[in-house]
Amino acid sequence: MPDIATIGAVLNSLKTATDIAKFLRESDLSLERAELRLKVADLMGALADVKMELIDVQQAFEAREQRIRELEDAFHSKEQLVRHGDAYYRANAAGKAEGLPYCLRCWESDHKQRQLVRDAREFQIVVCAGCGAKYSDSMAYEIPASTV
C-alpha cells in the first residue's frame, strides 16, 4: 500500500505542474523563448514524476487487491479442510478427512493449499514442494475415500 510520503509526492508534483501551467498561461508575450522552453521542460518533468508515482500507487493497489482475493479464497476454503495428523485434508460429507494431504505449515502461515509429495530420497518422508517442510508419511498420508 502506498504510504503517506508517496501520496504526498504525487500531490506535490501535481501542484508544481499546475503552478507552471498557470505561470505559462498568465505570462505575457515578452517572455523570452528560452525562458518559455525552460518552463515547458519543467512542466514535462513534473508531469513525468506524477506519472511514475501514480504507476507505483496503481501497482501497490493491485498487489493489495491480489492479497485480498487470496485471503478471501482461503477464508472460503477454511470450511473445506480439516486437520488430521500432520496435514490438512479435504473434508467429506461427514466432515472427516480424506484424499491427499496438504502442507500444515503452508496452510497455517500462508493460507495456501499445497499438496505433499513423497521424497525421492527418503522413502518414509513426504515433503511440501512449496516451502520444503518435511513430514513423516505415518502422520501425513493419503486417506482413501470412505464408501459408507
Q: What is the pLDDT of residues 5-57, one digit of tens each?
A: 777 777 777 788 777 777 776 666 555 777 777 877 888 888 888 888 888 88
Task: Provide the residue range defining the domain that includes 101.
Answer: 85-136
End-to-end, the C-alpha distance of the chain in Å comes to 50
Q: In this structure, is residue 146 part of a structural domain? A: no
Q: What is the pLDDT of residues 96-139, one digit of tens each?
A: 889 989 999 998 888 888 999 988 888 899 999 899 999 988 88
Domain co-membership, 21 together with 69 = yes
Distance CA(53)–CA(40), nearest Å, equals 20
Distances (CA, A) of 25 to 29, 30, 39, 40, 43: 10, 13, 11, 11, 12
Distance CA(106)–CA(92), nearest Å, equals 21
Q: What is the pLDDT of residues 77-102, one digit of tens each?
A: 767 888 998 899 988 888 888 998 99
Domain co-membership, 97 together with 45 = no
Domain co-membership, 68 together with 105 = no
